[in-house]
Structure 1
Amino acid sequence: MTKQLRIAVVGAGYWGPNLARNFSNSPDWELMAICDLDKSRAERLAQQVGGVRVVTDLAELLASDDIDAIAVATPARTHHGIALAALAAGKHVMVEKPLADTGERGRTMVDTAVAEGLVLMADHTYCYTPAVLKIRELVQEGALGDILFIDSVRINLGLIQPDVDVFWDLAPHDLSIIDFVLPGGLKPTTVSAHGADPLGAGKSCVGYLVLPLANGAMAHVHVNWLSPTKIRQMVIGGTKRTLVWDDLNPQQRLSVYDRGVDLGLQALDGVERNAATVSYRLGDTWSPALPEREALGGMAAEFAASIREKRSPRTDGAAGLRVLSVLEAASRSLEGGGSAAAVSSGAELVGELR
């Protein structure tokens, strides 16, 4: 049997319990400790996952020689400091979304991990769901054809966050999914963002993102904290087929429609034009069979595999940087009244693990 890797979860708040439970149940990992400034909260979580030890001092945790990696589930503004301290201590790091609160800090984290020969992984959880893994497979094998548009909706009556707007809270999910399924990742040149704060919360509670994609395609993301109904849906339209992912429909999460529009080129006066030769394709609809398993279990397995194989994980620091670059551009667009803002380039991993 492969020896288990040893991990500690830093942060026992909202997301930490989910990470702790999955690492505790994973055959690849031995959960060693829970670290949180709130000792009583950490103790409650530790008891839920087998009575592992509780630590309130990060430096004490990182000095432990029985820890191979840490999973960070703390506010985004703290990710940079925690990750750099862990990497300096020789620990592999997994960070919940977003990777950091600025692209510059995220870049420092990625550069440091590469320099130290350690794994830095972004916990883009949805990328490990069976549905998104299947979407990636269908897109990359060309089953949908060339991508024409992506339309994503993530709305609910949600918790208004004290430190970030709805874009930074919800859009990382959709952006990370788009980045994961598109060949080459998410690399728009500009982003246009429109936000609204009808409650006077001091930040956008409703938001829309528009991102141009390759070959004239477009992605549109709608995020909303104020909707009384919950919708988790993504539509990916291609030249061959259109895929609909409804994450709240366990009986049929994915539907693939063999329907579309074909435009014929007709030569008029020696010039090729998109003339009136329009035909509509009305074919079958089918739903791929998907296994039911928890995404975080797959994420934990991928984190372990990337460490053992000395490779970048599927959702590596570069993927986290690509998402961050879009979020930062969205913030600049909001400040500019919704005008298109350039997305910074250079969100590529600067080297390979040594």
Structure 2
Amino acid sequence: MIGIAVIGYGYWGPNLVRNFSLVDDARVVAVVDQRPEQRATVERLYPTVQTYADPADMLLNPDVDAVVIATPVSSHFELSMQALQAGKHVMVEKPMTSTVADGEKLVAEAAERGLTLMVDHTFIYTSAVRKIHELVGDGQLGELYYYDSVRVNLGLFQHDVSVLWDLAVHDLSIMDFLLGQSPTSVAATGIAHVEGQPVNMAYLTCFFEGSTIAHFHVNWLAPVKVRQTLICGSERMVVFDDLEASEKVKVYDKGIVLGDPDQIGFEPRVGYRTGDMWAPRLDVTEALRVEAEHFVDCINTGSTPESDGAAGLRIVRILEAATTSLGLQGAPVEI
């Protein structure tokens, strides 16, 4: 039985505690939060869970085998390192750290101590994304041409990170999982409409070897909420709309057909192919439950998480390069 401690009982913490409480091979033994009212809520809902105001006190609890961190990104490195050095397995919210250098230190520390380091890339554990991953892996989409996503809404403005680190991190983790390759360079543009605050809308382009390209539009200042991704392959195309109650994934048998380049005449070289659209059936199991079970299983078996420290580090590399590009008004930055 793996003893779980959750640090941070704010927006995401309650979901983590609830889902880890349902995992057969785990039990939540501790929750850390500086706010007395949050600790009181935990004590009322989970009478057997010990609460702490200081993470250092929690790390002395011998019943804690693994620590799950759901705090602002600025605290991720320090809390994760303290937990690893105390011999605890770690699952940390995304982005894993605020710098590449800190991410590299965490990956090295976990490897040296033989501990599991996992990043909470929740979306890759959704049935929708896993179905798309299956389609890509089976070659049903053909050669991948582009990945294009939009994630916009009105709020919530963050004060410590830009919209790229807050919203684009979700889609970057999905892209990393689906494409299975890292970009060679990135270019980002954006603007802060509130003086003295981080960039609140941005456009990020990732360039890869070959003809694949990825583009992300993220915005805290939009009149509507949009969570849509288009993935185009040479054989089929996919639309992933996370706000759809059903049919979140739609597969289109559409594309182009290239004619004979040596053909003489008035026929266009590019033709169009239109076939059926189908929506695969998706599992309704909560993604965080799947992820929690995966984390515990990796601890028990010593296997590598699908969203391990290396995956988290790849995303931080992209975000750090994108931040540099923002300061250069969109000039490409190599990774």
TM-score, with normalisation over the residues of structure 1?
Answer: 0.91
- Give the conservation status (yes or no) of the 8 Å contact 1:234–1:245: yes
- Give the conservation status (yes or no) of the 8 Å contact 2:202–2:218: yes
Q: Does 1:281 align with 2:273?
A: yes
Residue 50 and residue 134 in structure 1: after superposition, are their counterparts in 2 closer, same or farther (change >3 A)? farther
Which whole-Å CA distance do the structure 2 matches of 1:65 and 1:79 have between them? 22
Which whole-Å CA distance do the structure 2 matches of 1:110 and 1:23 have between them? 24
- Kindly state the Cα deviation for residue 137 of structure 1 after the two structures are TM-superposed: 0.7
Letter in 1 for 2:84: L
State the SS of the aligned residue for 2:98.
coil
Letter in 1 for 2:65: D
Which whole-Å CA distance do the structure 1 matches of 2:212 and 2:14 have between them? 39
Q: Does 1:74 align with 2:71?
A: yes
Which whole-Å CA distance do the structure 2 matches of 1:264 and 1:212 have between them? 27
Which whole-Å CA distance do the structure 2 matches of 1:147 and 1:57 have between them? 48
Cα deviation digits, residues 35-79 of structure 1 (max 9, x gap): 112233222134234451111121221111111101001111111
- Kindly state the Cα deviation for residue 258 of structure 1 after the two structures are TM-superposed: 0.3
Cα deviation digits, residues 186-239 of structure 1 (max 9, x gap): x11111101022233532111110111232111000101011211111110000
Which whole-Å CA distance do the structure 1 matches of 2:148 and 2:258 have between them? 22
State the SS of the aligned residue for 1:324.
helix
Q: Does 1:30 align with 2:31?
A: no
Match of 2:93 in 1: 96
- Give the conservation status (yes or no) of the 8 Å contact 1:140–1:182: no
Q: Does 1:207 align with 2:202?
A: yes
Which whole-Å CA distance do the structure 2 matches of 1:79 and 1:179 have between them? 21
- Kindly state the Cα deviation for residue 157 of structure 1 after the two structures are TM-superposed: 0.9
Q: Does 1:54 align with 2:46?
A: no
Cα deviation digits, residues 78-106 of structure 1 (max 9, x gap): 11111111111111000001000111001
Among 271, 278, 294, the residue aligned to 1:302: 294
Residue 111 and residue 232 in structure 1: after superposition, are their counterparts in 2 closer, same or farther (change >3 A)? same
- Kindly state the Cα deviation for residue 310 of structure 1 after the two structures are TM-superposed: 0.4
Match of 2:251 in 1: 256
Among 214, 217, 225, the residue aligned to 1:219: 214
Which whole-Å CA distance do the structure 2 matches of 1:240 and 1:134 have between them? 17
Q: Does 1:329 align with 2:321?
A: yes
Stretches of structure 2 lacking an aligned partner (at least 5 in a row): none
Match of 2:333 in 1: 341
Residue 45 and residue 228 in structure 1: after superposition, are their counterparts in 2 closer, same or farther (change >3 A)? farther
- Kindly state the Cα deviation for residue 265 of structure 1 after the two structures are TM-superposed: 4.1
Which whole-Å CA distance do the structure 2 matches of 1:332 and 1:283 have between them? 43
State the SS of the aligned residue for 1:215.
coil
Stretches of structure 1 lacking an aligned partner (at least 5 in a row): 270-274, 344-354
TM-score, with normalisation over the residues of structure 2?
Answer: 0.96
- Give the conservation status (yes or no) of the 8 Å contact 2:9–2:33: yes
Among 147, 159, 164, the residue aligned to 1:162: 159
Which whole-Å CA distance do the structure 1 matches of 2:253 and 2:259 have between them? 18
Which whole-Å CA distance do the structure 1 matches of 2:188 and 2:44 have between them? 44
Match of 1:266 in 2: 261
Match of 1:315 in 2: 307
Letter in 1 for 2:21: S
State the SS of the aligned residue for 1:229.
strand
State the SS of the aligned residue for 1:131.
helix
**Over the residues paired in the alignment, what is the CA RMSD in angstroms?**
1.5
- What is the percentage of aligned positions where both structures have the same residue? 44
